[in-house]
Amino acid sequence: MPEGERQDYVWEHQPLFREAHIGELKNALNQFYELNHLYLLLDDSIGLLRDLAQEQDEVVGWLNEWRERNDNEMRYITASYIDTLMSAGDNSARQTNPDSALLKDTTPEQRGRIYDYINARNHWRREHNNGPEPSTTSAGQYSALRGSTYDERPQVRFARLDMDGKYSQMVLALGKPRHEALKDDIDALEENSQGILNGVGLGSRGIYDLVRHEEMQAYLTQERSHLKRWTQRLDDITHDRVRLFTQGELYRSAWYFDPDHPDQLKSALAMELNCTRDLCRTEDSLQKVGDYFHDNPHYILPVFYGRLDMDFLRAKSGNLLKWLDDIHNFSDGLADAQRRIADISHIMGNHWTHSLKLDPAALPLHQAVNASYIPAVALNLERWLIEMQKQLNSPQLRQHLDNFSRASNRAQRLGMLVALQQEAVTLRVADAADVQKFRDNFVRLNQLLSTEDDLIRARSRLTKLINRRTLTADQHQDLLYERQYTNQRLLQTRNTRDALRRDLEKAIVPTGNPVNGAIGVRLDITDPQMRALNDEIEKLRAGAFGGYATQGAAAAALKGSFFPLLAVCLQLGNLGEAWSVWRDSDNRRTIKERAVSEAECNTRLLS
């Protein structure tokens, strides 16, 4: 047990913190100071959040030490996998009979009772096969008499009692009629489980013969005990950190920082990072922090809490929320970004202009703070992308693309405008001529696909003719030449199709430079900004300390971590418009064409 674990996780615990009347404190004072003292009450929420973050780092350190000690991680994963193979479950039930009524006619709870019974019965069989133990005399010694009796070992009795209890629970959960109907399936699953454990057939070996079962179970029991304690401690810490954060304790307590002072700006960002690093480590914490920023998007601006005043809270915060709700639509919201930036500058006044002017030395800290929040802010977008992957081969994809505008968080929308302002880039909307070229390319793609199908059919026909035995030598040679010519045409058609597909991809990508038509919106960025965008994406993947807290990060990275999100949203919006062009096309759309289009979506968006 680590030394730090000997102390309970308490920061609001009754023995240490209790309510008391002020008179109790007053009576504890020296009488000399009874009329000459000052009470100073502090609500140190920043200190609590910083201590909780440090406590979380300490527990993560325990996990890292456990992982590195004697290659524990590999041993634990291997033992857990073997233990899974030894236990009955849905996977073993599917392997036994994929069409079993046990899987179709039972609920997960009922199947759990069945698996518990089978596992308990397997445990009883193993204990029973170890045999009885000799009876002992009244003095506790084993009898040495010939023909002495043997007693059942206590382990066997306990295993049998557990098995009988699990059997009763299974029958009660299923009901007698259903239990009778599923009896053959349960017996088949039990037989399959026994085969895995003990082998099937003469001379075969099972898991019991291949591993030291008792030693492995003892190891798993011990390590699972450690991991369960540490995981529960991490969950408790995360719950408390998220609760304090979403109650606004951090930003209310950090009012005294002056962001116009360079040193205080860096101190505020360092404080915020120390309080919020690795804040969102669970799905629940991501959701709660994302909801908090959806309701308070202004806090996504750097050290905005240092500029906050009652005038903004009373008169402008509501206008900001309404305005961000109005720009959720892709085409109407981001395409006219310059006007939108002017609108938000009018709403927020100097809060907007001052918040975006950061000292270069403060940029790495600002990016690291953003890296703590962006996973929560972009949670809805991530879920939308996951759902899109599921619907790529379904008719619901178009409707899902139409719902994209509702997948963004208010703080994400504000952050994307911040990225535009900080990077001084503009958005260029495709004009009518570009869109028409894009439509013409789709028509050309359809024609090439049709030509490719015709050539493939012609090649197949020629191959059948060549295989005829009634052909003369000259006829056979002519057909060979014709098939060779058809193959050359097919190769040229495919090369032309691939080149045209690449042109269509460039027309959809917001950071590309299309030369043959375009659709949607594109970012006007320089080559250094493009390289920085790619670096930024890698830094986001590496995390706050792996990506941003490195030498030279300020020079290599963009000024804000929302720029990659902006590029993703523009990409998805362009995809929606491209899909509309494809859907409205008058040319025939075969299954092959649909596959090409969906492969294009996969290649550009989900790689």
Q: How much of the chain exceeds pLDDT 70, in percent? A: 78
H/E stretch holding 101: helix 101-104
Provide the mean pLDDT of the chain. Answer: 79
pTM for this one? 0.73
C-alpha angle 330/388/384, rounded to 5°?
Answer: 60
Q: Using the 8-state DSSP alphabet, how is residue 312 labeled?
A: I
- Most confidently predicted of 130-139, 351-360, 370-379, 428-437: 370-379
Residue 492 has pLDDT above 90, yes or no: yes
| pLDDT score, position 146 | 54
Q: If pLDDT is split at 50, 70 and 90, which confidence band does 356 have?
A: confident
Looking at the DSSP bridge assignments, the partners of residue 150 are 134
Q: How much of the chain exceeds pLDDT 90, in percent? A: 20
Contact assessment for residue 237 and residue 52, using Cβ atoms and an 8 Å cutoff: yes
pLDDT (tens digit per residue) in 536-580: 666 555 544 444 444 444 444 444 467 777 777 777 777 777 777
Q: If pLDDT is split at 50, 70 and 90, which confidence band does 150 have?
A: confident
Name the residue with tokens 């045409």.
489
| pLDDT score, position 598 | 44
| pLDDT score, position 458 | 93
Residue 607 has pLDDT above 50, yes or no: no
Ordered by start, the domain boundaries in the chain are 87-134+150-211, 263-430+520-606, 431-505
Contact assessment for residue 322 and residue 283, using Cβ atoms and an 8 Å cutoff: no
Per-residue pLDDT averaged across 233-261, rounded? 90
| pLDDT score, position 292 | 94
pLDDT (tens digit per residue) in 82-101: 888 888 888 888 888 888 88
The DSSP result for 357-409, as a single string, is: ---GGGHHHHHHHHHHHHHHHTHHHHHHHHHHHHTTTSTTHHHHHHGGGGSS-
